[in-house]
Structure formats: structure tokens, C-alpha cells
């Protein structure tokens, strides 16, 4: 069957050691790679960062999002009227997708906090609409993408997430599509939008373009165990996002001793943020309260906790053409 063939292909890719990625995709072995681990030692509070401003996120129920299974992921398309402000550019939403674990490794988040994985991670993908016409044009540019990442843990039933989960049964197989009535996408985010980690990183699977301004919210949201279990069915064993093909619970590469972030935390003594696979030379990371301008003339990527930043300003967009751009990379 198509589902069995798809599952076999996914398993084949999973069994390919991700350490070999740089041989075919040079950026996968470069700097600014994601995901990372956020831990105490690398953060500095930055008071210049602003809370994110989300525009157009409240979509009328008379409009519909499109939920699609493309054979290796399930994602939901978003409307171009949705934007993020209080960043160096305006970023327009394009889609969202989830990273789950599986039966053997239930904790499926890509980013970690002090080494801890979470049950899942939601990514809301945006592209730089001030400079590029669409996500395909933006995906390989150094200032091309901005992703909001929401860490998810087990807790009470979450009615907002159920607005998406309840349609999973209708997209079990490749090429199936379901229509999801509009709702306020901000309901999927934590209440404290002014507390987050930020850094300049990459796509988390090949071609690993270092094109993503990451905002990872400090506070997780909760879904019930029953809701989370939906992701452990056979549907999602072969509908896993390519972003999760490197086992999400694999240890992230440690920071070399001479490539550390200096930092403190925002809002309280001792923050959380981390280096993981990000390789920087004498990078300085700061963190603070939500969003904001990046320092001009900086040489290294930003990491913010509750707004945490390290110095690399997106002054010039740099095309990265080791391989042709592929908008399907963000699935």
C-alpha cells in the first residue's frame, strides 16, 4: 500500500546517520545550526527587546485553514494576512506543523531546556515579506525566515489544540486534505509572549540553510495525554515531519570549550538557554523581554531568552546556494 511504502522510505531516511548530512549538504556542518539546548550559562538579559506583536492571527470561523498530508508530514497552511512585527522586518505566516515523539521516545521536541526534551514542539513558520515574494524565495536567504516555536508538555485537555487535532483523522494518508475552521492562532501560544529565547539558526534538516530567526517561548503550553497519544498512532509514524528524522531525543552536540556564550537571564537570576549544535566563535548572547532590533554591525547570530540575543545583525541578505531552495524543507 502507499502507506507502507511511505513508512519504509521514512525508516530508510531515519536510519541514515545525520552525521553524514554535511557531506551532501555543507550547511549542515556549518555555523548557526539548529536545534539547540537552552541552558543557564549562555544568556544575558537584553532590555532593548520588545514583546512580539502578532497581527491578523484571529481568523474568522467562516474562513478555513487547509490541513494537508504530503506523505511525510501533516501541516496547516496559514493566511498571508498573518504577520509578526517588532522584528527587524515584517514576517508573514505561511504554515505550522508539529514535532512529536513516538511510542519508544515520547518526548519529541527539537529544542531542549537544560537538556530537557518536551512532549512536542509546534513551529509557526513565517517568511520575510518585506524583501521576498514568498517562502520559496526566502528559504535560502540569511534573513529569510522567522519561526515561532512553542514547547508542549503533558497537562490538562487543551481545547485550542483540539481545533487542529480533531481533524487529524481526516488526513491519515498522503494527499488527503481537511479544512479547519478559522480560529485565533494566538490561542496556541503561551500567555507570556514577552518571555522567550531567540537566536539566529537554521532549518533543522537538509539543506540546513542558516536562514531562520528562531523565537522559542520560555513557557510551554499543555495538552492532555490523550491528545498527545494521537501522534503515536501509525498515522504519524509515517507522517513524521522531516524535521524530526534526526531523532528528537538524540543529544545535541556540545559547545566547544572555546566557543561559549556569555550570559545571564531575563526576569530572574539565572536564565536558561543553550548552545547545542550552534558553533560560534566568542559569541555573546543576551536575553531579555520579547523581540526587537538586532545590533548593527554584529558578527554572530542572536540568541534571546525572554528575548535573548547574540550579535549578528541581518544587515545584508546572503543567498546560500549549496543546493536549490526547497520550500518543502519546512514541513
CA distance 179 to 122: 19
CA distance 315 to 62: 40
Give Cα separations from 47 to 10, 52, 262, 306 (angstroms). Answer: 44, 14, 16, 10
- Select which of 72, 97, 123, 300 is catalytic: 72
Q: Is 83 assigned a catalytic role?
A: no
Rounded average pLDDT over 267-276 = 31
Three-state SS sequence of the chain: CHHHHHHHHHHHHHCCCHHHHHHHCHHHHCCCCCCCEECHHHCCEECCCCCCEEECCECCCCCEEEEEECCCCEEEECCCCCEEECCCCCEEEEEEEEEECCCCCCCCCCCEECCECCCEEEEEEEEECCCCCCHHHHCCECCCEEEEEEEEEECCCCHHHHHHHCCHHHHCCCCCEEEEECCEHHHHCCCCCCEEEEEEECCCCCCCCCCEEEEEECCCEEECHHHHHHHHCHHHHCCCCHHHCCCCCCCCCCCCCCCCCECCCCCCCCCCCCCCCCCCCCCECEEEECCCCCCCCCECCCEEECCEECCECCCCCCECCCCCCCHHHCC
Q: Please state, for a pLDDT cut of 70, what percent of the chain lies above it.
A: 62
Lowest mean pLDDT among 97-111, 264-278, 307-321: 264-278
- Label residue 228 exposed, middle or buried (CB < 10 Å: 0-12, 13-18, 19+): buried
Q: Per-residue pLDDT tens for 24-41?
A: 777 787 777 888 888 888
Q: Per-residue pLDDT tens for 96-139?
A: 998 887 766 778 899 999 999 999 999 999 999 999 999 999 99
Largest CA-CA distance found in the chain, in angstroms, rounded: 56
- Label residue 146 exposed, middle or buried (CB < 10 Å: 0-12, 13-18, 19+): buried
**Is the predicted pLDDT of residue 175 greater than 70, yes or no?**
yes
CA distance 319 to 298: 19
| Beta partners for residue 116, in sequence order | 113
User: Could you tell me which residue, 319 or 226, shows the higher pLDDT?
Assistant: 226
Q: Rounded mean pLDDT of the chain? A: 72
Confidence band (pLDDT; 50, 70, 90) for 182? very high
Sequence-separated contacts (24+) of 3-6 with Cβ below 8 Å: 3/172, 3/173, 3/174, 3/234, 3/238, 6/71, 6/72, 6/174, 6/238
CA distance 185 to 115: 28
CA distance 88 to 26: 27
Q: Which three cell numbers, joined as nine digits, stand for 301?
A: 547570530
**Is the predicted pLDDT of residue 167 greater than 80, yes or no?**
yes
Q: Domain range for residue 74?
A: 2-329
What confidence score (pLDDT) does residue 190 get? 97
CA distance 198 to 200: 7
Q: Per-residue pLDDT tens for 55-101?
A: 999 999 999 999 998 876 789 999 999 999 999 999 999 999 988 87
Number of separate domains in the chain? 1
What confidence score (pLDDT) does residue 278 get? 28
Q: Which three cell numbers, joined as nine digits, stand for 306?
A: 525572554
Lowest mean pLDDT among 207-221, 224-238, 312-326: 312-326
Rounded average pLDDT over 181-198 = 95
What confidence score (pLDDT) does residue 289 get? 27
What confidence score (pLDDT) does residue 233 get? 54
Q: Please state, for a pLDDT cut of 90, what percent of the chain lies above it.
A: 41
> Tell me, what CATH number does 56's domain have?
3.10.200.10
Identify whether the C-beta of residue 312 lies closer than 8 Å to the C-beta of residue 193: no
Confidence band (pLDDT; 50, 70, 90) for 19? low
Q: Per-residue pLDDT tens for 276-302?
A: 322 222 223 333 223 333 233 333 344
Amino acid at each position: 500500500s502507499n502507506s507502507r511504502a511511505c513508512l519504509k522510505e521514512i525508516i530508510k531516511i531515519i536510519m541514515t546517520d545525520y552525521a553524514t548530512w554535511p557531506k551532501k549538504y555543507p550547511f549542515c556542518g556549518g555555523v548557526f545550526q539548529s536545534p539547540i539546548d537552552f541552558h543557564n550559562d549562555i544568556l544575558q538579559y537584553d532590555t532593548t527587546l520588545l514583546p512580539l506583536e502578532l497581527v491578523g492571527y484571529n481568523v474568522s470561523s467562516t474562513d478555513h485553514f487547509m490541513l494537508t498530508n504530503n506523505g511525510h508530514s501533516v501541516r496547516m497552511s496559514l493566511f498571508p494576512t498573518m504577520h509578526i512585527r517588532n522584528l527587524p522586518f515584517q514576517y508573514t505566516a505561511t504554515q505550522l506543523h508539529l514535532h512529536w515523539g513516538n511510542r519508544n521516545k515520547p518526548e519529541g521536541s527539537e529544542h531542549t531546556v537544560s537538556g530537557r526534551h518536551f512532549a512536542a514542539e509546534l513551529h509557526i513558520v513565517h517568511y520575510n515579506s518585506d524583501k521576498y515574494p514568498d517562502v520559496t524565495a526566502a528559504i535560502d536567504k540569511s534573513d529569510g525566515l522567522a519561526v515561532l516555536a512553542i514547547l508542549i508538555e503533558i497537562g490538562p485537555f487543551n481545547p485550542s489544540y483540539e481545533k487542529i487535532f480533531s481533524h487529524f483523522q481526516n488526513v491519515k494518508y498522503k494527499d488527503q486534505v481537511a479544512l479547519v475552521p478559522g480560529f485565533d492562532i494566538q490561542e496556541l501560544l503561551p500567555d507570556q509572549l514577552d518571555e522567550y529565547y531567540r537566536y539566529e539558526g537554521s532549518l533543522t534538516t537538509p539543506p540546513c540553510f542558516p536562514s531562520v530567526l528562531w523565537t522559542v517561548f520560555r513557557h510551554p503550553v499543555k495538552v492532555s495525554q490523550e491528545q498527545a497519544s494521537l501522534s503515536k498512532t501509525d498515522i504519524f509514524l509515517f507522517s513524521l515531519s522531516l524535521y524530526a528524522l534526526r531523532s528528537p531525543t538524540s543529544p545535541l552536540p556540545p559547545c566547544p570549550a572555546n566557543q561559549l556564550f556569555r550570559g545571564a537571564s531575563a526576569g530572574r537570576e539565572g536564565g536558561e538557554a543553550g548552545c547545542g549544535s550552534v558553533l560560534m566563535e566568542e559569541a555573546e548572547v543576551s536575553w531579555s523581554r520579547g523581540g526587537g532590533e538586532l545590533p548593527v554591525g554584529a558578527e554572530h547570530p542572536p540568541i534571546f531568552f525572554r528575548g535573548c540575543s547574540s550579535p549578528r545583525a541581518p544587515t545584508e541578505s546572503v543567498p546560500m546556494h549549496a543546493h536549490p531552495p526547497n520550500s518543502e524543507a519546512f514541513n
